[in-house]
Chain A
Amino acid sequence: MLKPKQMSRALIVGHKDLLEETIEVLHQINLFQIEDYIEDDSGLKIGKPIGKGDAISRSLIKIRSIASFLEVKDEPVKKQNASTLLRDLDSTLEKLDKEVSRKTETRSGLEARVKEIESLKKELLPFADIPLDLDLYRGYDNLSIFPGSIKGDIEGEISSITKSYELFSDHKSGTIVLFVPKIYTEDISMVLSDHGYRELKVPEQKGVPAEIISRIDAERTDLLRQIDGIDADIRALKDEYKEFILASNEVLSIEADKSEIPLHIATSESTFIIEGWVPSDSYNKIERAVSRATQDRVFVSQQEIEHEQESIVPVEYDNPKVVRPLQEIMNLYSRPRYKELDPTALIFISFPLFYGMILGDIGYALVLLTLALTVKKVVKSDAVKPLMNILIYCQISTFLFGILYGEFLGFPLAGVVSHGEIQAGLIPGFNTIDLLASPVGGEMITYPIHRNHLIMTMIVFTALVGLIHINFGYILGFINENRKHGISAALLEKGSWLIIQIGILLGVLGYLEVLRSEAVLYAGIAIFLVGFVMLLKGEGVKGPIELPSLLSNSLSYTRLIAVGLSSIYIASTVNMIAFQMIWPDKFGLMTVFAILVFIFGHALNAVLSIIAPGLHALRLQYVEFFGKFYEGGGRKYDPFGYIRKYTEE
């Protein structure tokens, strides 16, 4: 907790003949992260792939293309035995590949034919209502044919040119087919072009268009049925080979990984050197496993982590299980560096705390808790689960603050006395109890705390929460800086902020009525100046420029009350619309409407209640809190190995 897992740098050295066994055992143990070797002038070279690397890669490409064609998705299937799978893999893959390519070829052939038919039909459609055999459109010596579309009636004008013509027309589509003796071609063309004539291509077919169309329509339906049949075959193939595809993809990926390892390590004529990282508590495990697998002929040794290597040490979180979901929030920002504080456990407290302070409503807590638990149960995804856990933590905190604030879906639980009148709460007879008078705004602190009657007090209180949180950040920054660059840097860069604040506090106290004393005032100013000079030395000009951020950052925490109030106002507006404006005296249609408004209004506000308090609570961590101490940018610990999902050894 508060620190990433301790890592050790290990060196594994042995004869090349033992490389395969070593890689095998490292892969199996899944704890060792191999550090890429970069060739230098030491004479060591990067190794060459072992085993049948090429063949494996080819099969892998084939299996992945088949998987994407068949749309095989990751899903839990029965585990297969890896060695039997590997034995039959090539022949099964060959068979599957042939079958798939046969199906795809037939399918694309059929699809091409369907396209052909569709374009033919498009050409035929204009002629559909003209009962002429398509053969009759061709092969005349003395006749000109005008097949095309036209606007309006032209029969009169044509008959004024010649009486010997034959005109077929379809008024619906505007298609005409006109036969005239060749000598009138030019005159007729002129007439036609005046009427917006557009020539149509006559399809190279035989028979009456309407008949052809019905024939090809039948063919098209038949083709589509065949395509459906092939699709069904492909689906059947997918169901039959799904397990094989998933399992062999896994096995081949593993084999490919193993065969490529020599490309990452240093080798000489006859030896290999693998450098890498292992969690310190697992170092012995690695050493023992390697020795056993190679009968003590490969040597594992632990190396000192040098200072300049600290930036490349892989970082693995080391948190109790209950805190782990919050690691997602850390990853979203940036993984901590190796020597840095891991604040996951801190935001485990502060994130739900701020969320609850903002939302603080028993009703919403219950609704969203149910939602989170349902989603967690229904969706099995590993990505969703931690988020739902975070939501659950937040709702627990919201519930507790809901009890403190006495709110249920925007209704106050307790009645409150204001200006001599009692505004009744949800629980009859339960009124707020006065606890003590607030020092600000002349307000009365009560239980339950009614936030909308305590605005001034809450604003001051939340700003104070902010000040505490920020200073906690500075203290963590001090610890971090001390660890990285020593005590003087820590004092100048982070301690100066604390000193400046003490100075300001003393100065203000000395100036105010409460403790009017010139000595305190001057002491405050002096301390402030000391802090200021330290800051200037530690951070340069940047430091003083950031001074006002002390004020703006702590005021930023007033969002804890401001966003919460906006949520209350939305909720109580929904309640008001539903129960005061729409609710009728007698049961009727309007009653149903009021209930609908109530449900939808609160559903909307519930969704907003995940987003708004979530984002604001998150932002307070990321911007105001992390800004004071956190750097991040650590490298992910990603050991060489694989967690088998579809196969077993």
Chain B
Amino acid sequence: MAVETAAVMDPAGLKAIGAGLAVGLTGIASGIAERDIGSAAIGAMAENEALFGKGLILTVIPETIVIFGLVVALLIS
């Protein structure tokens, strides 16, 4: 039987990984959500320029996801 060597990971490293995942994954999620909304908003704006304000708002709504991610990352680290 081989002697088991338990390698203890530095908790700071795990925290950093967690923080990175929180920002990275939520960033991807925001990106995916904004991609569809953004292209639709641009399409609508091409028809009617007055829709810029509404389009902008709809596009940035998923931005909150990554902000939450960033906040979580800040709380972890």
A555–B61 Cα distance when bound, in Å, is: 13
Q: Does A3 contact B (CB under 8 A)?
A: no
Smallest distance from the beta carbon of B3 to chain A beta carbons, Å? 38
Q: Does A558 contact B (CB under 8 A)?
A: yes
- Cross-interface CB contact of B54 among A333, A555, A562, A619, cutoff 8 Å: A333
Q: Is the CB of B68 within 8 A of A332?
A: no
Which residues of B sit under 8 angstroms from A623, Cβ to Cβ?
Answer: 57, 60-61
A332–B53 Cα distance when bound, in Å, is: 5
Q: Is the CB of B54 within 8 A of A559?
A: no
Q: Does A566 contact B (CB under 8 A)?
A: yes
A456–B71 Cα distance when bound, in Å, is: 9
Smallest distance from the beta carbon of A342 to chain B beta carbons, Å? 16
A512–B70 Cα distance when bound, in Å, is: 28
A36–B56 Cα distance when bound, in Å, is: 33
Which residues of A sit under 8 angstroms from B67, Cβ to Cβ?
Answer: 556, 558-559, 562-563
Q: Does A180 contact B (CB under 8 A)?
A: no
Q: Does B75 contact A (CB under 8 A)?
A: yes
Which residues of B sit under 8 angstroms from A162, Cβ to Cβ?
Answer: none
Q: Does A455 contact B (CB under 8 A)?
A: yes
Interface residues of A in 319-350 (CB under 8 A from B): 331-334
Interface residues of B in 56-77 (CB under 8 A from A): 56-57, 60-61, 63-64, 67-68, 70-71, 74-75
Interface residues of A in 605-639 (CB under 8 A from B): 615-616, 618-619, 622-623
Q: Is the CB of B64 within 8 A of A556?
A: yes
A618–B55 Cα distance when bound, in Å, is: 13
Q: Is the CB of B74 within 8 A of A562?
A: yes
Which residues of B sit under 8 angstroms from A563, Cβ to Cβ?
Answer: 67
Interface residues of A in 545-575 (CB under 8 A from B): 552, 555-556, 558-559, 562-563, 565-566
A331–B70 Cα distance when bound, in Å, is: 32
- Cross-interface CB contact of A456 among B54, B64, B68, B75, cutoff 8 Å: B75
- The CB with the most chain B CB atoms within 10 A, among A331, A459, A552, A622, is that of A622
Given the known A-B contacts A556-B64, A556-B67, are A565 and B53 also in contact in the complex, defined by CB atoms under 8 Å? no
Which residues of A sit under 8 angstroms from B64, Cβ to Cβ?
Answer: 552, 555-556, 559
Interface string of B39-56 (1 = CB under 8 A from A): 000000000000011101
Q: Is the CB of A562 within 8 A of B75?
A: no
User: Nearest residue in B to A458 (C-beta to C-beta)?
Assistant: B74
User: Nearest residue in A to B67 (C-beta to C-beta)?
Assistant: A559
User: Nearest residue in A to B63 (C-beta to C-beta)?
Assistant: A619
Interface string of A582-625 (1 = CB under 8 A from B): 00000000000000000000000000000000011011001100
Q: How many B residues touch A, CB cutoff 8 Å?
A: 15
A565–B64 Cα distance when bound, in Å, is: 16
Q: Is the CB of B74 within 8 A of A565?
A: yes
Smallest distance from the beta carbon of A397 to chain B beta carbons, Å? 21
Q: Is the CB of A562 within 8 A of B71?
A: yes
Smallest distance from the beta carbon of A536 to chain B beta carbons, Å? 25
Smallest distance from the beta carbon of B5 to chain A beta carbons, Å? 32
Smallest distance from the beta carbon of A627 to chain B beta carbons, Å? 9
Interface residues of A in 164-183 (CB under 8 A from B): none
Q: Is the CB of B71 within 8 A of A555?
A: yes
- Cross-interface CB contact of A615 among B54, B60, B75, cutoff 8 Å: B60
Instruction: Classify chain A: how many residues form its interface, as a range.
Output: 20 to 34
A459–B63 Cα distance when bound, in Å, is: 17
A209–B12 Cα distance when bound, in Å, is: 83
Q: Is the CB of A558 within 8 A of B60?
A: no
Given the known A-B contacts A459-B74, A565-B74, A615-B60, are A622 and B68 also in contact in the complex, defined by CB atoms under 8 Å? no
Smallest distance from the beta carbon of B12 to chain A beta carbons, Å? 14
Smallest distance from the beta carbon of B40 to chain A beta carbons, Å? 17
Q: Is the CB of B61 within 8 A of A566?
A: no
Interface residues of A in 269-317 (CB under 8 A from B): none
Interface residues of A in 511-570 (CB under 8 A from B): 552, 555-556, 558-559, 562-563, 565-566
A558–B53 Cα distance when bound, in Å, is: 23
Q: Is the CB of B70 within 8 A of A562?
A: yes
Smallest distance from the beta carbon of A461 to chain B beta carbons, Å? 13
Q: Is the CB of B56 within 8 A of A459?
A: no
Smallest distance from the beta carbon of A330 to chain B beta carbons, Å? 9
- Cross-interface CB contact of B53 among A334, A455, A552, A559, cutoff 8 Å: A334
Which residues of A sit under 8 angstroms from B61, Cβ to Cβ?
Answer: 623
Q: Is the CB of A558 within 8 A of B71?
A: yes
A181–B60 Cα distance when bound, in Å, is: 81
Smallest distance from the beta carbon of A288 to chain B beta carbons, Å? 36
Which residues of A sit under 8 angstroms from B75, Cβ to Cβ?
Answer: 455-456, 459
A66–B66 Cα distance when bound, in Å, is: 53
A565–B54 Cα distance when bound, in Å, is: 28
A566–B71 Cα distance when bound, in Å, is: 11
User: Nearest residue in A to B71 (C-beta to C-beta)?
Assistant: A558
Interface residues of B in 8-59 (CB under 8 A from A): 52-54, 56-57
A562–B72 Cα distance when bound, in Å, is: 10
Q: Is the CB of A619 within 8 A of B70?
A: no
Which residues of A sit under 8 angstroms from B56, Cβ to Cβ?
Answer: 332, 615, 618-619, 622
Which residues of B sit under 8 angstroms from A618, Cβ to Cβ?
Answer: 56
Q: Is the CB of A459 within 8 A of B71?
A: yes
User: Nearest residue in A to B74 (C-beta to C-beta)?
Assistant: A455
Which residues of A sit under 8 angstroms from B52, Cβ to Cβ?
Answer: 332
Which residues of A sit under 8 angstroms from B74, Cβ to Cβ?
Answer: 455, 459, 562, 565
Smallest distance from the beta carbon of B34 to chain A beta carbons, Å? 12
A51–B54 Cα distance when bound, in Å, is: 43
A334–B64 Cα distance when bound, in Å, is: 23
Smallest distance from the beta carbon of B20 to chain A beta carbons, Å? 14
Given the known A-B contacts A456-B75, A459-B75, A556-B64, are A622 and B57 also in contact in the complex, defined by CB atoms under 8 Å? yes
Given contacts A332-B53, A556-B64, 5 further A-B contacts (CB under 8 A): A332-B56, A334-B53, A459-B71, A558-B68, A622-B57
29 inter-chain pairs at a CB distance below 8 angstroms, sorted by A residue, are A331-B53, A332-B53, A332-B56, A334-B53, A334-B54, A455-B74, A459-B74, A552-B64, A555-B64, A555-B68, A556-B67, A558-B67, A558-B68, A558-B71, A559-B64, A562-B67, A562-B70, A565-B70, A566-B70, A616-B63, A618-B56, A619-B57, A619-B63, A622-B53, A622-B56, A622-B57, A623-B57, A623-B60, A623-B61
- Which 3 interchain pairs have the tightest Cβ spacing? A332-B53, A333-B53, A562-B70
